[in-house]
């Protein structure tokens, strides 16, 4: 808990070092802390009302930890979308934005069950901890099965609570009316994207286009573009701003996912909180793997494909795959793709008529999301 909080509370380190940067960092830290406070307050209230009376202390504790353990990227983007409307800072809008953490918690809990992930943020994943609870009590039946089912139910609660937190945020009926169609679309897209991911998780190394398509629709849209659009819709932004945010969001969403994919292959477990080479071990269909398959010579490509087709990948296999991927040039290629997307997003902002401090914050968020170590 302590180590996790220390990581979570520390904002991204901005690569720009001037006075504006310091101002942005203060704003971001304050916003992230407010998001965490709002989420904590809401989840504690709901636990008190819905879980405590039934004697469920562990589920509530896990939910509180989980919901407030993130970096709040999605909430920050919802709030930046809101600020594009020009009506200035607003506590209700911040509360509405913070509800994105609960939606994200829903998605992560379910993903971890479906991927059978043992770890999340460097600790045993929620279904594992629920399974351990079942085992410790000596309850009958499969503890693993219990852990997975219970985690799915906590995810359900997160999904319901997320929408409730948004509805009860106080942003007003007109803002909500504008938000719902986008909110519904985002939630459906999330489930449908995950479904596409599951049907794609084959023994074959995927193509770059197929993977980028998933990345765009699933993680990218849902991390940057949809949150931004949701906030902007709440604020009543016009079509010009919506289009611009859509372009920015799509580019940075893809770059965010490319960074995630690089971290999944080369990331340091000490900062990612995930095992070394996790995406290789799980044979995830990621951009970096697809790029390596495209760029590698025939021998290395054959090696990579053989690994993917094997029953399982051990530590030696992970090391081999890392070498093949690095030698193929996929790493630099992915870095170039990230760079190109950041530049494109910055160009989109140049053409826009946004409040200068909001545009500045969006520029800096683009860098933070794409130059990070976890």
Q: How far is the CB of 99 from a copy of itself (least distance, A)?
A: 13
Q: Give the tokens for residue 69.
A: 């353990």
Q: How far is the CB of 103 from a copy of itself (least distance, A)?
A: 11
Q: How far is the CB of 295 from a copy of itself (least distance, A)?
A: 24
The site for a copy of itself (CB under 8 A) is made up of 46, 50-51, 54, 56, 59, 110, 113-114, 139-141, 146, 149-150, 152-154, 156-157, 159-161, 163-164, 167, 173, 180, 184, 187-192, 194-196, 198-199, 201-204
Q: How far is the CB of 198 from a copy of itself (least distance, A)?
A: 6
Q: Are 182 and 226 in contact (CB under 8 A)?
A: yes
Q: Pick between residue 12 and residue 146 the one whose CB is nearest to a copy of itself.
A: 146
Paired residues of 123 in beta bridges: 120
Q: Are 293 and 306 in contact (CB under 8 A)?
A: no
**Would you put residue 275 in left (φ > 0), alpha (ψ -120 to 50) or beta?**
beta
Q: Pick between residue 16 and residue 153 the one whose CB is nearest to a copy of itself.
A: 153
Q: How far is the CB of 54 from a copy of itself (least distance, A)?
A: 6
Q: How far is the CB of 329 from a copy of itself (least distance, A)?
A: 27
Q: Pick between residue 8 and residue 307 the one whose CB is nearest to a copy of itself.
A: 307
Q: Pick between residue 192 and residue 306 the one whose CB is nearest to a copy of itself.
A: 192
Q: How far is the CB of 63 from a copy of itself (least distance, A)?
A: 11
Q: Pick between residue 48 and residue 347 the one whose CB is nearest to a copy of itself.
A: 48
Q: Pick between residue 68 and residue 143 the one whose CB is nearest to a copy of itself.
A: 143
Q: How far is the CB of 106 from a copy of itself (least distance, A)?
A: 8
Q: Pick between residue 176 and residue 354 the one whose CB is nearest to a copy of itself.
A: 176
CB atoms within 10 A of CB 243: 12
Sign of the CA dihedral running 16, 17, 18, 20 = positive
Q: Pick between residue 88 and residue 141 the one whose CB is nearest to a copy of itself.
A: 141
Q: Give the tokens for residue 331.
A: 């790493």
């Amino acid at each position: 808990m302590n180590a996790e909080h220390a990581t979570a509370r520390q904002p991204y380190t901005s690569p720009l070092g001037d006075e504006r940067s310091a101002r942005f960092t203060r704003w971001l830290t304050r916003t992230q802390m407010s998001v965490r406070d709002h989420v904590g307050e809401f989840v504690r209230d709901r636990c008190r009302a819905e879980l405590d009376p039934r004697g469920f202390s562990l589920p509530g504790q896990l939910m509180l930890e989980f919901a407030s353990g993130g970096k709040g990227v999605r909430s920050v983007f919802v709030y930046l979308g809101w600020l594009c409307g020009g009506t200035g800072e607003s506590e209700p809008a911040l509360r509405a934005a913070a509800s994105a953490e609960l939606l994200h918690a829903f998605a992560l809990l379910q993903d971890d069950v479906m991927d059978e992930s043992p770890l999340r943020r460097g600790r045993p994943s929620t279904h594992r901890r629920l399974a351990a609870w079942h085992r410790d009590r000596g309850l009958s039946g499969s503890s693993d099965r219990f852990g997975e089912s219970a985690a799915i139910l906590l995810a359900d609660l997160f999904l319901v609570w997320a929408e409730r937190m948004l509805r009860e945020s106080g942003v007003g009926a007109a803002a909500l009316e504008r938000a719902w169609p986008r909110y519904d679309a985002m939630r459906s897209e999330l489930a449908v994207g995950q479904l596409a991911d599951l049907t794609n998780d084959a023994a074959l190394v995927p193509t770059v286009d197929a993977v980028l398509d998933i990345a765009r629709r699933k993680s990218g849209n849902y991390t940057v573009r949809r949150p931004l659009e949701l906030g902007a819709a709440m604020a009543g932004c016009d079509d010009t701003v919506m289009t611009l945010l859509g372009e920015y969001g799509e580019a940075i969403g893809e770059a965010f996912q490319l960074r995630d994919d690089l971290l999944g292959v080369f990331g340091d477990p000490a900062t990612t909180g995930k095992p070394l080479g996790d995406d290789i071990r799980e044979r995830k269909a990621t951009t970096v793997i697809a790029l390596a398959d495209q760029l590698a010579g025939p021998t290395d490509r054959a090696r990579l494909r053989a690994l993917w087709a094997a029953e399982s990948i051990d530590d030696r296999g992970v090391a081999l795959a890392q070498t093949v991927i690095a030698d193929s040039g996929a790493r630099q290629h992915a870095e170039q793709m990230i760079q190109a997307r950041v530049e494109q997003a910055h160009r989109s902002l140049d053409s826009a008529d946004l409040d200068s401090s909001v545009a500045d914050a969006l520029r800096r968020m683009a860098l933070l999301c794409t130059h990070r170590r976890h």
